[in-house]
Amino acid sequence: MAFLQDISVIAFDCDGVMFDSTEVNRSYYNQLLEAFDLPLMDDAAFHYVHMHTAEGAIRHLFEGRVPLEAVREKQRAFHYPDLFPLMREEPHLRALLRFLKPKFRTAVATNRSNTLRPLLDHFDLTTYFDLLVTSLDVPRPKPWPDMLEAIVRRFGVRPENLLYIGDSPLDAQAAAAAGCVFVGYGPEDLGASLHIRRLDVVATWLEGGGEGEGKPPSFFR
């Protein structure tokens, strides 16, 4: 995988890559639904809201059922950090960030909005990143490439110098449109340039460790 030699920036999606936020998102949106006496999410609704922006999720769940401004008022009153204990940091994330930090620039590109920095602060991860890009920072969220293009501009690199790790079709579409290297994380086949089920494998590849998900670098052992 010689093309990895050109990588100088590593960017992460947040939910599903850095954290398992399944229970957080389920609890958050179900509490909002309950506040308006609406049925809880089914699997299809949850799959949608888990990938999209909060605004997109609210429209998907409530538009035509409840005045959206009433829902937004509930959102403003909701203390989202109360849910942080339900978040689960992905295995090997912190070790990977420590491995990357001296050698690569690092970023987050997520459809989250104003909850990203408080979340990273809560887990003491903020200092590992040189740049945070959320849906509030660009004209268009994923699947548009705006976030990844913003990262490329900020660091003055070419798209092929950026490796983006994501877990959803929206991530794959954004990476393809931006022209960067996409790594698919998790069980779903996203048609990625590379696919992993463990984050430590990224370090193996970047060290020139060859194909597959074999033994991780000594840093992880």
What is the number of domains present in the chain?
A: 2
Same domain, 146 and 75: no
Amino acid making up residue 149: E
- pLDDT > 90: percent of the chain: 81
pLDDT at 117: 96
Q: If we measure between CA atoms, which residue out of 96, 129, 127 comes closest to residue 207? A: 96
Contact yes or no for 184/176 (Cβ under 8 A): no
pLDDT at 33: 97
Same domain, 130 and 196: yes
Q: If we measure between CA atoms, which residue out of 170, 192, 174 comes closest to residue 183? A: 192
Tell me which of 10-14, 84-88, 214-218 is least confident.
214-218
Same domain, 153 and 51: no
Which residues are CB-neighbours of 160 under 8 A, at least 6 positions away? 3, 6, 179, 180, 181
Structural domain harbouring 195 = 2-20+87-220
Same domain, 60 and 135: no
Q: Is it the case that residue 207 has pLDDT exceeding 50?
A: yes
Same domain, 103 and 153: yes
Same domain, 116 and 45: no
As to burial, measured by CB atoms within 10 angstroms (0-12 exposed, 13-18 middle, 19+ buried), residue 198 is middle
Residue keyed to tokens 């460790």: 209
Tell me which of 60-64, 149-153, 161-165, 214-218 is least confident.
214-218
User: Of 85, 101, 117, which one is at a domain's C-terminal end?
Assistant: 85
Give the C-alpha distances (Å, rounded to integers) separating 137 from 86, 87, 147.
Answer: 26, 24, 8
pLDDT at 221: 47
For residue 138, what is the domain's CATH number? Answer: 3.40.50.1000
Same domain, 78 and 97: no
Task: Give the mean pLDDT of the chain.
Answer: 91
Same domain, 172 and 93: yes
Question: Helices 54-62 and 68-77, interaxial angle, to 10°?
Answer: 130
Q: If we measure between CA atoms, which residue out of 199, 174, 185 comes closest to residue 98? A: 199
**What's the pLDDT band for 51 if we cut at 50, 70, 90?**
confident
Q: Is it the case that residue 181 has pLDDT exceeding 60?
A: yes
End-to-end alpha-carbon separation of the chain, Å? 23
Same domain, 201 and 110: yes
pLDDT at 205: 87
Same domain, 68 and 175: no
Q: Is it the case that residue 169 has pLDDT exceeding 80?
A: yes
Same domain, 146 and 212: yes
Q: Cα–Cα distance between 167 and 157 in angstroms, integer? A: 24
User: Of 45, 61, 85, which one is at a domain's C-terminal end?
Assistant: 85
User: Of 52, 85, 118, which one is at a domain's C-terminal end?
Assistant: 85
Same domain, 109 and 196: yes
Q: What is the DSSP string of 79-134?
A: -GGGGGGG-EEPTTHHHHHHHHTTTSEEEEE-S--TTHHHHHHHTT-GGG-SEEE-
Which residues are CB-neighbours of 82 under 8 A, at least 6 positions away? none
Task: Give tens-digit pLDDT for 22-32.
Answer: 999 999 999 99
